[in-house]
Amino acid sequence: MSLLDNVLIILFLIGISCFFSMSEIALAAARKMRLRQLADEGDPRAERVLLLQAHPGSFFTVVQIGLNAVAIMGGIVGESAFTPYIKAGLQPWLAEPWLSQVSFVLSFVIVTSLFILIADLMPKRVAMVMPERVALVLVGPMIFCIRLLTPLVWVFNGLANTIFRLLQIPTARNDQVTSDDIYAVMDAGAEAGVLDRDEQQMIENVFEMQTVPVTAAMTARESLVYFLLQDDEEVIKRKIAEDPHTKFLVCDGQLDTIKGVVDAKELLIRVINGQSITLKDSSLVHNCLIIPDSLSLSESMEYFKNHRADFAVVMNEYALVVGIVTTNDLQSAVMGAWSLHESEEQIIARDKDSWLVDGVTPITDVMRAFGIETFPQSQNYETIAGFMMFMLRKIPKRTDYVNYAGFKFEVVDIDAYKVDQLLVTRMPAEMALPLATGAEV
C-alpha cells in the first residue's frame, strides 16, 4: 500500500478511537439531574443515556474492546506505514543496525503521538466540557456497537462479574443523592456566583431543620413575660409597656399552670373602647398550642401548619414549660441574619478577633458564626451557655473559660447562676489548643 493509503487507515483508526474515548468520558461525566430534566422534556436519547449509566457494564466492555483493538491495529499499521519512508530518509546518514532501530522508534513515536493527541486527549477534553451534549449525540451509535458485539460483551462481562462476586465488589452504580452532595452543589454555586452566600446559608438552614431541635429557636423559660390570672389591670398594662409582644401566656399562680394565651391587640381594643381588662374574662383567654421539646424545627412547623397556629408553648417530659416558639422564631432560624433586627443580635463583634455572645445563643448559630464544624457531644446541650456548663462540669462562674477550635470562650457576666454573656476571642495559631478548660486568676 502507498503512504496515502496507510495514512488514511491511521486516520480512520484515530476516528474510531475518538468515538470510544468521547463516549467513555461523556457517559461518566454526564449529570444525572440534567439528563433527567432532558428526558422529562421529551428527549428519548436522555433516557437511553440514563439506562446505560444505570447498567454500565456492557458499555464499558465495548469501550475497552474498541480502544484496545484500535490501539493494536494502529501499532501494526503505523509501524509498516512509516518505517520504510523514515528509513529511506535517514539512509544517507545512518548505517545498519542503527538505521532500522531509529526508523522503528521514530515511526512508533509518530503513531503514538497522533493517538495520544488526537484520539485521546482532545476528544476527552471536549467530552468533559459538554458531557450531556456529547452523550446524547453518541448514545445511538454506542448502543449499536453494544448489540453488534453482544457475544464478546457477554463473555467478558460474565468473567468480570464472576471476579467481582469472588472479591465481593459491588457492580451496581450508587446514584443515591445525599445531603453532602447537595451541600457540595450549593458550595460550587456560591463559588461560581450563581448563589449569593446569604442565599446559600438560607438553603443550608432549610436542610438543617430536620436535625435542629425546636429548643434552639424558642424563647427560653427565663426570658418569658407572662400574665397571671390574678394580675390586675395596672400590672397587665405595665408588663405590656415594658415588654411589648403580640401574645402573652396566661398562667394561674405559676408559669407551669397554663390557662391559655391572650392577644395584645384585643387588650388594646378594650383600652381604646374604655373597657376594663380582666383575665378572668374567658373571651380574652384563648387555648394555645403545646408541643414537646423533642420536636425538630421541621416538625414544629408542621404542627403550626396543621393547627393553623403561630404561637406554641414548649414543654418537657415533666410537663414543665421550657419556652415558647412562634412562626417568626422558625422563620428566623431559616432566614438567619436577614430576619434579625440589630437589637436582637446575639453575637456582636467588638473587633476582628473578639465577640460578645449572649448565653442563650443556640449552638448552631455559634457554629455558623465562627466556622466551627462541630462541638463535642453537642446532643447534651442547645446553647453556648450549655456548652460551657457541659465542658466545665460545674455551674460556670465569672472568668471561667473553655478553649476550643482556636477560640477562647470566657464567661464575663453571670446573673443568678445563669451565664448571661460570654467573650469569644480568636486565639493565635501558636496558642490554640484542641481543647482546654479552666478559670482565670
pLDDT at 387: 94
- Is the per-residue pLDDT at 248 higher than 90? yes
pLDDT at 7: 78
- Is the per-residue pLDDT at 301 higher than 60? yes
Q: What is the pTM of this model?
A: 0.53
Cell of 357: 455572645
pLDDT at 441: 33
Q: Is the peptide bond before 123 cis (omega within 30 degrees of 0)?
A: no
Same structural domain for residues 221 and 199?
A: no
Same structural domain for residues 297 and 414?
A: no
- Is the per-residue pLDDT at 177 higher than 90? no
pLDDT at 339: 42
Question: How far is Cα 179 from Cα 334, in angstroms, rounded to an integer?
Answer: 17
Cell of 48: 437511553
Same structural domain for residues 18 and 148?
A: yes
* Cβ atoms of 48 and 135 closer than 8 Å: no
Sign of the CA dihedral with 206 first, then 208, 209, and 210 last: positive
Which CATH number covers residue 239? 3.10.580.10
Which CATH number covers residue 416? 3.30.465.10
Question: How far is Cα 222 from Cα 205, in angstroms, rounded to an integer?
Answer: 26
- Is the per-residue pLDDT at 414 higher than 50? yes
What does pLDDT average to over the chain? 83
pLDDT at 247: 93
CB atoms within 10 A of CB 395: 12
pLDDT at 389: 93
Question: How far is Cα 200 from Cα 232, in angstroms, rounded to an integer?
Answer: 49
Q: Percentage of residues in the chain with pLDDT exceeding 70?
A: 91
Same structural domain for residues 113 and 134?
A: yes
- Is the per-residue pLDDT at 409 higher than 70? yes
Cell of 60: 464499558
Cell of 409: 470562650
Same structural domain for residues 322 and 410?
A: no
pLDDT at 338: 42
Same structural domain for residues 46 and 138?
A: yes
- Is the per-residue pLDDT at 337 higher than 50? no
Last residue of one domain, picked from the residues 310, 333, 356:
333
* pLDDT tier for residue 195 given thresholds of 50, 70 and 90: confident
Question: How confident is the model over 136-163, as pLDDT tens digits?
Answer: 888 888 888 888 888 888 888 788 888 8
pLDDT at 379: 82
* Cβ atoms of 348 and 355 closer than 8 Å: yes
pLDDT at 341: 42
* DSSP-derived secondary structure letter, 362: B
How many CA atoms lie less than 13 Å away from 238 in the CB half-sphere? 5
CA-based nearest residue to 419, from 431, 407, 411, 429 = 411
pLDDT at 343: 37
Within 8 A by CB and 6+ apart from 284, the residues are 262, 266, 267, 277, 278
- Is the per-residue pLDDT at 256 higher than 90? yes
- Is the per-residue pLDDT at 214 higher than 80? yes
Within 8 A by CB and 6+ apart from 219, the residues are 323, 324, 325, 329
The residue with greater pLDDT, 202 or 31, is 31
pLDDT at 342: 38
Same structural domain for residues 372 and 349?
A: yes
Q: Is 426 helix (H, G, I), strand (E, B) or coil?
A: strand
The stretch 59-66 carries a mean pLDDT of 84
Residue 340 falls within a domain, yes or no? no
Question: How far is Cα 68 from Cα 49, in angstroms, rounded to an integer?
Answer: 23
- Is the per-residue pLDDT at 423 higher than 90? yes
Q: For the packed helices 3-29 and 57-90, what is the interaxial angle rounded to 10 degrees?
A: 150
Domain extent for 234: 214-333
Same structural domain for residues 57 and 141?
A: yes
The stretch 311-335 carries a mean pLDDT of 88
Same structural domain for residues 151 and 7?
A: yes
* Cβ atoms of 347 and 355 closer than 8 Å: yes
Burial of 58 (0-12, 13-18, 19+ CB in 10 A): buried
Residue 172 falls within a domain, yes or no? no
Same structural domain for residues 413 and 278?
A: no
Domain count, the chain: 4
pLDDT at 435: 61
pLDDT at 65: 85
- Is the per-residue pLDDT at 384 higher than 90? yes
Residue 27 falls within a domain, yes or no? yes
DSSP string, 98-130: HHHHHHHHHHHHHHHHHIIIIIIIHHHHHHHHS
Cell of 53: 449509566
Same structural domain for residues 224 and 203?
A: no
The stretch 155-176 carries a mean pLDDT of 78
Radius of gyration for the chain, computed over Cα atoms and rounded to the nearest angstrom: 36
Residue 173 falls within a domain, yes or no? no
Q: The cell 383567654 sits on which residue? A: 285
pLDDT at 425: 94
Residue 160 falls within a domain, yes or no? yes
- Is the per-residue pLDDT at 3 higher than 80? no
Same structural domain for residues 78 and 141?
A: yes
Question: How confident is the model over 217-228, as pLDDT tens digits?
Answer: 888 888 899 999
Instruction: Give phi and psi for 418, each to the nearest 5.
Output: -95, 130
DSSP string, 282-310: TTTEE--EEEETT-BHHHHHHHHHHHT-S
Question: How confident is the model over 68-100, as pLDDT tens digits?
Answer: 888 788 777 766 677 777 777 787 777 777 887
- Is the per-residue pLDDT at 438 higher than 80? no
The stretch 385-394 carries a mean pLDDT of 92
